[in-house]
Amino acid sequence: MDSNMDIDTAPFTFAVPQPPPEAMSDPIISSIPSPPHISHPTETREQFKAIPVKVHIRRPERDSWVYAGRGVVTLEVSGHSSQVVVRSTSTNKILTLFNETSDLQAEKRGNFVVIGCVEGSKVVSWSLNALNNAETLRLLASIELACYKCQQALGDPRTHYKSRRRIDRVIKDDRRKRHKRRKDQDAMVDAFSRQALSESAEPVPSR
């Protein structure tokens, strides 16, 4: 070997692998809350709690309520539609149900939800007595949700408005007739009581 040959005495360097840099935490991104959980329709159906009620019914041309027993109200969902079903607690028989095809008007009166169902020119009224105010509000909201005519309101709002006006008119007319019958009955009872008092006040002829 030639002793005059230049030998490269530069030290050898080896690339030492370095760990990847840690991701920097962005304070703005980290402060963004996670998106809320969107419940699936099946979860809503499973989470609905049945509402125990006392059921009364007032049939057409009648002024008094008839007790129909204790019942339980459930909200049954099928696809995009739902219905409120009232079943008897003792027999599990369906007493009545309300859905999008029902022509009705529901209102809250204390712990009662009174539903006037229009059938032609007649009105069948249901009274559902819940346990407390919270259950009553939940019951009313369930009925309004199940019976809202969404397709008609969006597709034909004019027909929807006319239908609502007709339902209101029939129910108001039924209420007016009931009040008139009650007033006539009270007047008749008052007349009979006055007649009975006048007859008892007449002196008995002496023999």
Note the pLDDT of residue 184.
82
Rounded CA gap, 71 and 143, in Å? 15
Note the pLDDT of residue 88.
97
Note the pLDDT of residue 190.
81
Note the pLDDT of residue 110.
94
Note the pLDDT of residue 186.
82
Note the pLDDT of residue 32.
41
Note the pLDDT of residue 91.
95
pLDDT < 50 stretches in the chain: 1-14, 22-46
Say what the pTM is. Answer: 0.66
Q: Which CATH architecture has domain 49-159?
A: Roll (2.30)
Angle (CA) 147-143-129 rounded to 5° is 150
Domain ranges of the chain: 49-159
The string over 75-98, giving b where at least 16 C-beta atoms fall within 10 Å of a residue's C-beta and e elsewhere, is bebeeeebbbbbbeeeeeeebbeb
Beta pairing, strands 51-58 & 122-129? antiparallel
pLDDT in tens, 66-125: 999 999 999 998 887 889 999 999 999 999 999 998 999 999 999 999 999 999 889 999
